Amino acid sequence: MHTMPTMSFIDTGTGFPILLGHSYLFDKSMWSTQIEVLAKHFRVIAPDLWGHGESPALPGSTSSLKDIAADHLHLMDSLNIEHFAVVGLSVGGMWGAELAAMAPKRVKSLMLFDTFIGNETEEARERYFAMLNAIDAAGMLPQPLLEYVVSQFYSRYAAPSDVQQLTAWLSSLCTERLRTSIVPLGKMIFGRPDHMAILDAITCPVHIATGELDLPRPPVEGRLMAEKLGCEFTLIPKAAHISNRENPDFVTTLIIDFITRHQ
């Protein structure tokens, strides 16, 4: 029998379980500040996405965001966790929404940060695919592209150490990891179909929040989903795409308040 490889993950704290989903090109350590505080109140499960952090390469059977959601549900099954909250940022929010729609009896609350489940504009998709094809061809991130990618994630409010860490990680990515996981995952994310319709299948309480300076996922997108769901929307001050790193206390408080009310 073919067995599914297992994602690398942190399992810490006790109480109501929260599943954390990190951004593309990051790993579970993206949530380090939140995990420290959340683990005092909740059980926190923080996996590394395929091909990110310490997780193995993207499995051949995983070809959509829905498949990635199913992979995370499989992880929760393996931990015998029946009910849980999902807190996802960027791609973590994309598969998080898919998971909440897929397992409505199990996902008790959902928080979507700096994400959008509609599709990209044609122009944006072409730009992303051109970058991914350039990375695939070079087997690395050429310097100008590296600088551009980092600037899309962080604003002037970012800690210099965070910017340096991301730059160093992106520079260190080997050709094999880029070609087998990073590029195909990028195409899965940026080539995704419009899944706004799945919002109708999400029955749990939802909170959506976007950094006021987010470039790839501007606040207008978060507001659009919140409007469709009729749920709360929060604009995160002094934060860009990786809002939980740029304004950590604000985001941590938001998570604790929301999950405490809806567990």
d(CA 39, CA 12): 6
Q: Give, as one character, the DSSP assignment of residue 15.
A: S
| pLDDT(183) > 50 | yes
The SS3 assignment for 68 reads helix
Q: What are the two backbone dihedrals, phi and then psi, of residue 9, each rounded to the nearest 5 degrees?
A: -155, 160
> For residue 15, what pLDDT band results from cuts at 50, 70 and 90?
very high
For domain 9-119+194-261, give the CATH number.
3.40.50.1820
- Cβ–Cβ < 8 Å for 222, 239: no
Q: What are the two backbone dihedrals, phi and then psi, of residue 111, each rounded to the nearest 5 degrees?
A: -120, 125
- Cβ–Cβ < 8 Å for 91, 189: yes
pTM (2 d.p.): 0.97
Q: What are the two backbone dihedrals, phi and then psi, of residue 237, each rounded to the nearest 5 degrees?
A: -70, 155
The tokens describing 48, both together, are: 């590394």
d(CA 233, CA 113): 10
Angle formed at CA 150 by CA 149 and CA 153, multiple of 5 degrees: 95
> What confidence score (pLDDT) does residue 98 get?
98
What whole-number percentage of the chain has pLDDT above 70? 98
What whole-number percentage of the chain has pLDDT above 90? 97
pLDDT in tens, 206-249: 999 999 999 999 999 999 999 999 999 999 999 999 999 999 99
| pLDDT(3) > 90 | no
d(CA 149, CA 123): 17
Q: Give, as one character, the DSSP assignment of residue 127.
A: H
pLDDT in tens, 132-144: 999 999 999 999 9
**Which residue matches tokens 């350590």?**
29
pLDDT in tens, 34-82: 999 999 999 999 999 999 999 999 999 999 999 999 999 999 999 999 9
The tokens describing 245, both together, are: 């790193």
Question: Mean pLDDT, to the nearest integer, of 172-185?
Answer: 97
d(CA 229, CA 236): 19
| pLDDT(193) > 90 | yes
Burial 132-147 (b: 16+ CB within 10 A, else e): beebbeeebbeeeebe
pLDDT in tens, 154-171: 999 999 999 999 999 999
The SS3 assignment for 208 reads strand
**DSSP sequence for 144-171:** HHHHHHHHHH--TTS-HHHHHHHHHHHH
| pLDDT(1) > 90 | no
> For residue 5, what pLDDT band results from cuts at 50, 70 and 90?
confident
Domain boundaries, the chain: 9-119+194-261
